[in-house]
Amino acid sequence: MSASIVNTTVTPLVEARGISKSFGGIHALEDVNISLAPGEVLGLLGHNGAGKSTLIKMLSGAYTADAGQILINGQEVKLTSPRAAQKLGIETIYQNLALADNLDVAANIFLGRELLRGGALDEDTMELEARKVLDRLKVNLPDLKKPVFNLSGGQRQCIAISRAIYFKARVLIMDEPTAALGPQETHQVNELIKSLKTEGVGIFLISHDMHDVFDLADRVTVMKNGKVVGSALTSQITQDEVLEMIIAGKLPGRNVLTN
């Protein structure tokens, strides 16, 4: 794909250096280095328990690292809370979607960042803005004042994505964005990823679907047992070689790895 934008002269949008994290003596992450350029889609691959989710929770401010640095545009930042990460333009779409089922669509999109007028919630403006962003994603929900519990997986996914879009994400972290979706909805989300990419948004894409990853990502980083096995451009590596890295942690015989 557009591999040309990924070169070392561009300051990475996000860079993590030497990240380590352990939970009660178990090393969830060990000396992890990862970087993401503007407009780049990075596929993050690995088995369950390889450390992908821990790593993205670190980048989204839900966990703090035991050691290591995180840099945004070359500046070191401290992501001490989800809100701190959001303020820096890092938005996360979690695997379990992180929606409050009992709240309505607009309330979920604005959760934690409600619009206020005179100290009170500005429900009407939030409803209108929610409608606008959903229209932009071509999502058709007739009633935004209904609780989200009876919406379909795809509709819920769209709400989670609209939340990130509305607040102008510069970095988008997507944890299995299409795992719960049908083919039609998957296609829609994939189109969305492509259009965000052209707007210069950097995207971490965690997925088990190798086909999707090779379709969408410019580069893949493979993790195993809390460590980075290696990274390579999707244009230069085969799916089989990536599978070998995931399963056996074995690097390809030829020199295809990038930073």
Partner 1 sequence: MQSVKTVPTTPPRRLLAQLGIDGRLLFMVLAIAGIWIAFNLLTGGVFITSRNLWNLSVQTASVGVMVSGMVLVIVMRNIDLSIGSILGFTGMAMAVLNIRVFTQDTWWGALLTLALGLLLGLGIGMLQGTWVAVLGVPSFIVTLGGLLIFRGGAWLLTSGQTVAPLTETFQILGGGLNGSIGGPASWGVGALIAAAIMWTDLRNYQQRARRGLPNRTAILQFVFTGVTLALVLAFVLVMNSYPDPRSGLPRGMPVPVLIMLAVTAIMMWVVRATRFGRYVFAYGGNPEAARLAGINTTRLTILVFGIMGMLAALAGAIQTARLNAGTNSTGTLAELSVIAAAVIGGTSLAGGTGSIPGAFLGAILMASLINGMLLLDLPSAWQNVVQGLVLMLAVTLDGIFQRRRAK
Binding site for partner 1 (CB under 8 A): 60-62, 81-83, 86, 92, 94, 96, 98-103, 107, 111-114, 116, 119-121, 123-124, 127-128, 131, 140, 142-143, 145, 149
The label of the residue with tokens 């929770």 reads 57
Sign of CA dihedral 192, 195, 196, 201: positive
Is residue 234 within 8 A of residue 218, CB to CB? The reply is: yes
Longest pairwise C-alpha distance within the chain: 64
Pick 156 or 197: Cβ nearer partner 1: 156
First to last CA, the chain: 18
Least distance to partner 1, CB of residue 119, Å: 8
Least distance to partner 1, CB of residue 103, Å: 6
Q: Are strands 14-23 and 26-36 parallel, antiparallel or unpaired?
A: antiparallel
Least distance to partner 1, CB of residue 113, Å: 8
Pick 112 or 253: Cβ nearer partner 1: 112
Pick 142 or 183: Cβ nearer partner 1: 142
CB burial of 175-191 (b: ≥16 within 10 Å; e: otherwise) equals bbbbebbeeebbebbbe
Least distance to partner 1, CB of residue 48, Å: 19
Q: Taking Cα atoms as reference points, which of 14, 20, 29 lies closest to residue 76?
A: 14
Token pair belonging to 220: 């893949």
